[in-house]
């Protein structure tokens, strides 16, 4: 059983929801990113999406754009992102890690080279934001051969026919983008999400994580109650990291405390 599959099935057995968080590798530094990952897991995170910084992150709102810019100023490369995963795996062999980013750096490294290096580092899945299934077949082949799950996005605008196709191509889980907009937007409509999940659920048999616009324990709980198997929090966590730029020693406490609150809201 893959780490992702194991994660969702253990949580489902306990009647709990997956708490997934997104941070950008290398913001504020490679070492700090590994510390933050451990602190998030210690406080109840079930799975981590690790952002691969890119110069032109078309789907991100301002908070995550700036985080990626800071990582790039720090000189973070795709190789560095993989070394973060390998460093994390020295102490944690259980928490699934999904790399999230844009296709160009991956394509530049080469699909096969990327897939095997990512597998060696301990990566479990990838979400390539600007690679819809129609353009993703070659990368999927490389990933699947290396034992990595290609995760695909579903959107409010996705038709039922497309959703079936996406479910048939995705592995591990499907990621439902909860709103029309960029990451961190403030237009989340929970009842709409619930209605969409009801339509999507019978079209595939993968767990569905919901992200974009979930900011705190309350909205996480609402989305979980609306039928999500997992909730993804990105911009809210990245915003906390940004707020600690001048006091990097506080980051793990600040992020850890926030995660604990969200976990309690989800479990309570």
Please state the closest distance from residue 22 (CB atom) to other proteins, in A.
15
Nearer to other proteins, 196 or 221 (CB): 196
Taking CB under 8 A as the rule, does residue 214 contact other proteins? no
How far is residue 117's CA from residue 121's CA, in Å, rounded to a whole number? 6
Nearer to other proteins, 163 or 255 (CB): 163
106 Cβ contact partners less than 8 Å away, ≥ 6 residues apart: 52, 78, 114, 126, 128, 139
Q: How far is CA 258 from the centre of its chain?
A: 17
Binding mask 128-147 for other proteins (x = CB under 8 A): -xxxx-xx------------
Nearer to other proteins, 156 or 227 (CB): 156
Neighbours of 116 (CB within 10 A): 17
Taking CB under 8 A as the rule, does residue 72 contact other proteins? yes
Q: How far is CA 73 from the centre of its chain?
A: 22
The size of the interface with other proteins (CB under 8 A), counted in residues, is 45
How far is residue 71's CA from residue 175's CA, in Å, rounded to a whole number? 24
Secondary structure letter of residue 152 according to DSSP: E
Is 1 strand, coil or helix?
Answer: coil
H helix runs in the chain, sequence order: 3-13, 30-42, 62-73, 78-89, 103-109, 111-121, 137-145, 160-169, 190-200, 217-225, 235-243, 251-267
Taking CB under 8 A as the rule, does residue 232 contact other proteins? no
Please state the closest distance from residue 215 (CB atom) to other proteins, in A.
17
Nearer to other proteins, 29 or 77 (CB): 77
Please state the closest distance from residue 100 (CB atom) to other proteins, in A.
12
Q: Which of 33, 43, 182, 252 binds other proteins (CB under 8 A)?
A: 182
Taking CB under 8 A as the rule, does residue 153 contact other proteins? yes
Residues that bind other proteins (CB under 8 A): 54-62, 65-66, 69, 72, 77-79, 102-109, 129-132, 134-135, 152-159, 162, 166, 177, 180-182, 185
């Amino acid at each position: 059983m893959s780490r992702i599959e194991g994660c969702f099935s253990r949580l489902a057995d306990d009647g709990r929801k997956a708490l997934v968080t997104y941070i950008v590798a290398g913001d504020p530094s490679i070492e700090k990113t590994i510390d933050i990952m451990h602190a998030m897991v210690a406080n109840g995170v079930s799975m981590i999406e690790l952002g691969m910084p890119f110069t032109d992150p078309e789907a991100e709102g301002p908070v995550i754009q700036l985080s990626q810019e800071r990582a790039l100023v720090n000189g973070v490369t795709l190789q560095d992102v993989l070394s973060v995963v390998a460093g994390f795996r020295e102490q944690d062999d259980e928490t699934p890690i999904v790399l999230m980013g844009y296709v160009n750096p991956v394509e530049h490294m080469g699909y096969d080279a990327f897939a095997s290096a990512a597998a060696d580092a301990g990566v479990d899945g990838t979400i390539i934001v600007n690679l819809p299934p129609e353009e993703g077949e070659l990368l999927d082949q490389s990933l699947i051969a290396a034992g990595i799950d290609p995760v695909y996005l579903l959107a409010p605008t996705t038709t039922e026919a497309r959703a079936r196709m996406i479910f048939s191509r995705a592995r591990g889980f499907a990621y439902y983008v909860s709103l029309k907009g960029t990451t961190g937007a403030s237009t989340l409509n929970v009842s709409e999400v619930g209605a969409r999940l009801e339509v999507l659920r019978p079209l595939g048999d993968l767990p569905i994580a919901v992200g974009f616009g979930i900011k705190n324990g309350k909205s996480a709980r609402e989305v979980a109650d609306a039928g999500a198997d997992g909730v993804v929090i990105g911009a809210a966590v990245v915003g906390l990291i940004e707020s600690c730029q001048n006091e990097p020693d506080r980051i793990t406490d600040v992020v850890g405390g926030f995660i604990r609150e969200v976990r309690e809201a989800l479990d309570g």
